[in-house]
Amino acid sequence: MSLRKQISISPGNAEDIPGIMGLINPRWPPFKPASHYRWLLFDSPASPTIVCAKHNDAIIGLFVIHERQLLSGERCGLVSGLVIEDEYRGLGLFSKLGSAAVERSPSLDMLCSIANQNGSHALNKNFGYEDWGPIHTYALHEPQREMQHKVSVEAISEDTMFPGEIALPPSVTGFSATNSFQSWRYGTGSRYTFYKITALDGSYLVIKLFPIHDDEKLVGDVMGIYARHWDASAIVSLVSSGIAAMNAKGVQDFYGWGGPNDPYIPLLQEAGFETAKPTRRLCVLPLKKNSPASSWHVSMSDSLR
């Protein structure tokens, strides 16, 4: 029997976590424990569709779709976890896994992926994804700032409340971020520590703390800005005040990512962030005729990394 015929394609389940760890951890450090994959793939309110390729009961390929709703009402599948063992490439598994995952996600209006150059090329070649443009990294090093407005700072716990959706300009749509989704995304199930910085009007900023280069130094990652109203100057003040508050806790370096049409990037630049060379691209595949056009944006808080 040919090798191609010995490989099976099937939905993933919690019993596959050890095999998924063995497939992903060597490729994308740092090491992530089983609890991380259970949180990301099986406890998520984003209803992940997980499809595995197996050979002799070993997982040799993976394709994951996280289902998210846009503020405009359409449903988007955020594609992640795309990986095939090197020795099994060239057998058409990428296409088979992707097709099987899409078949199990009939309610989606579109798919998107945040991919590197090779991944972007593969998505275009195998599925006809459109390249919508670069994902930019922005950075702020050693800020020396005074707090512009009074804010409250809390380490996010299972009791933290997230009161509302993100505010965007009228011409732009983005991912819905309900209280239940944010509680899962930033809650105790994640392997990171998150802080919520809240302004007097209820707008808030979420910053993730994580070590860099395996040392004890923590950096801050701006994961989400949830403004009550689209007021550019107020949002810049919130970001600057949040950075100052975390800076007072000893955090010196701050990062974040933003995709095409992200209206927050100019505001982050106004707050002092500098944009670095992009390393990833936003790839989109409309599945239905009414899929949103380029007015949609994605930020890296949606990458579920």
Q: What is residue 162's predicted lDDT score, i.e. its pLDDT? A: 86
SS3 labels along 140-185 = EECCCCCCCCCEEEEECCCCCCCCCCCCCCCCCECECCCHHHHHHH
Alpha helices in the chain (DSSP H): 3-6, 17-24, 34-37, 93-103, 117-127, 179-185, 232-247, 264-270
- Most confidently predicted of 140-149, 205-214, 230-239: 230-239
Query: What does the angle CA 149 – CA 153 – CA 156 come to, to the nearest 5 degrees?
Result: 145
Measured between alpha carbons, how far is 147 from 161 in angstroms, rounded to an integer? 24
Inform me whether the pLDDT recorded for 33 exceeds 50: yes
Q: Does 262 or 203 have the greater pLDDT score? A: 203
Q: What is the pLDDT of residue 295?
A: 55
Cβ 226 vs Cβ 206: under 8 Å: yes
Q: Tokens at residue 254, please?
A: 């701050």
Residue 229 has pLDDT above 50, yes or no: yes
Answer for the pair 228, 202: CB distance below 8 angstroms, yes or no.
Answer: yes
Average pLDDT, the chain: 84
Q: What is the mean pLDDT of residues 37-48?
A: 90
Q: Which is nearest to 22 in space by CA: 88, 79, 83, 66?
A: 83
Whether pLDDT at 35 is above 50: yes
The arithmetic mean of pLDDT across residues 189-218, rounded, is: 84
**Quick check: 189 pLDDT over 80?**
no
Q: Give the residue-averaged pLDDT of 142-169.
A: 78
Check whether 305 has a pLDDT greater than 50.
no
Is 4's pLDDT higher than 80? no
CATH numbers and ranges of domains, the chain: 3-108 (3.40.630.30), 138-279 (3.40.630.30)
Amino acid 217: pLDDT = 81
pLDDT of residue 54: 96
pLDDT band at 300 (very low <50, low <70, confident <90, very high): very low
Q: What is the pTM of this model?
A: 0.85
Q: Report CA 125 to chain centroid distance, whole Å.
A: 23
Residue type, position 231, single letter: D
Q: Tell me how far apart the alpha carbons of residues 120 and 283 are, in angstroms, rounded to a whole number.
A: 6
What mean pLDDT comes out for the span 174-183?
A: 82
User: Region 75-89: what's the mean pLDDT?
Assistant: 90
Instruction: Quote the pLDDT of residue 294.
Output: 47
Sign of the four-CA dihedral 176, 181, 187, 191: negative
pLDDT band at 304 (very low <50, low <70, confident <90, very high): very low
pLDDT the model gives residue 254: 92
Query: What pLDDT score was predicted for residue 268?
Result: 86
Taking residues 103-122, report their average pLDDT: 86
Q: For position 266, what pLDDT does the model report?
A: 86
Does 21 have pLDDT greater than 90? yes
Distances (CA, A) of 239 to 184, 190, 205, 216: 23, 23, 7, 25
> What burial class does residue 31 get, using C-beta atoms within 10 Å of its C-beta: 0-12 exposed, 13-18 middle, 19+ buried?
exposed
